[in-house]
Each structure stands twice: as structure tokens, then as C-alpha cells.
Amino acid sequence: MAQQLENVREQLRDRDEQLRERTEQLTNVQGQLQERDELRERTQQLTIVRGQLEEKNQEVSSLEERLRARDQEVIELKASLSTAQQERDGQLSERTKQLTIVRGQLEEKNQEVYSLEERLRARDQELIELEASLSTAQQERDGQLRERTKQLTIVRGQLKRKIKKSLLWKSG
């Protein structure tokens, strides 16, 4: 009887240890969820950066339109002023250089956006995989907890019957 009681106590200690391990696993999963939240925040930041890039693209378009307007002024001034022609040619050359620089910067930004989008897609896939892993882990944990609860209920019932028998035997 004492040996059986000790065995049951040992089983309960084992169950407690398993429960502590599952709690630790749950803490790990919660950490992964926190990482997912950080990924979402970075995604929001990426959206903001995209908006800023769009504004820059609009500024570039505006600068290109202004440059074209300036080019037209140069053409008109060429007809009337020969000295202004050289001056305006210099301005046109400078604006063309600026446009080339801005286009280069725009190309860099486009490449950067593409790279960020690729990273975002990779992170989204990673998030999907983590969510699937979490779901699986939670299902496994739930199944194990149900099984443990059944086992504990059986052991408790057996203990109650043995205690009852023991009390009846002593009183009889």
C-alpha cells in the first residue's frame, strides 16, 4: 500500500515535471508570437517607407516637368538672345545631370523597394510556417493535457477505492 502510494506520488511528480516542460514550451511559443508582432510592425514601417518613396517619385515627376518647361524656355530664348543661348545651354546641361542623378537615385530606390518586398514575402512565409507550427504545438499540448487529465482521474478513482477498502477493512 505504501509502495503504491509512493508510486502514485512519483507519477504525480513526473506529471508535474512534464507540465513544467510544457509551460516552458508555451513560453517559447509566446516568444515566437512576439517576433511575429515585431515582423508586423516592420511591415507597417515598410508601408510607410513605400509611401515616402511614392512621394519622392511624385517629386521626381514634378522636377522632370519643371525641367521640360525650362528646356522650352531655353528654346525660346535661343531665338531671341544669342548670349543667353550659351547660358541656357549650361543650365540645360546641369539639369540633365541632375535628372540623371535623380533617375539613378530613383532606380536605387526601386531596387531597394524590390529587395524589401522580397524580404517581406519571405517573412510572410516564415510567419505562416510559425503559425502552423504553433497550431500544431497547441493541438499536441491540448491532446496531452486531456490524456493526463484522464489518467489523473483514473488514478484518483483507484486511490479513493483503495482508501475506502482500507477504511472498511480496518473498521470491519
The closest alpha carbon to 43, from 147, 123, 136, belongs to 123
Helix (H, G, I), strand (E, B) or coil at 81: coil
**pLDDT band with cut points at 50, 70 and 90 for residue 107:** very high
Say if 125 falls within a structural domain: yes
Three cell numbers written together for 137: 504545438
Residue 159 lies in a domain: yes
Residue 64 lies in a domain: yes
Domain-embedded: residue 72: yes
Residue partners of 64: CB distance under 8 A and separation at least 6: 99
Cα separation, 13 vs 10, in Å, equals 5
Burial call 96-127: b when 16+ CB within 10 Å, e when fewer: eeeeeebeeebeebeeeeeebeeeeeebeeeb
- Residue-wise pLDDT for 134-167, tens only, equals 899 899 999 998 999 999 899 898 988 888 888 7
Q: Is residue 70 part of a domain?
A: yes
Q: Is residue 7 part of a domain?
A: yes
Q: What is the pLDDT of residues 35-52, one digit of tens each?
A: 888 988 988 998 998 899
Question: What would the pLDDT profile of 60-87 be if each residue is shown by its tens digit?
Answer: 899 889 988 888 887 776 667 677 556 7
Domain hosting residue 51, numbered range = 2-167
Q: In which band, very low, low, confident or very high, does the pLDDT at 115 lie, cut at 50, 70 and 90? A: very high
Q: How far apart are CA 96 and CA 93, in angstroms?
A: 5
pTM for this one? 0.34
Question: What is the SS3 assignment for 172?
Answer: coil
Residue 172 lies in a domain: no
Domain count, the chain: 1
Which residues lie below 8 Å from residue 35, measured CB to CB, with a gap of 6+? 130
107 within some domain: yes
Chain-centroid distance of CA 122 in Å reads: 10
Closest CA to 2 of 157, 156, 159, 148: 159
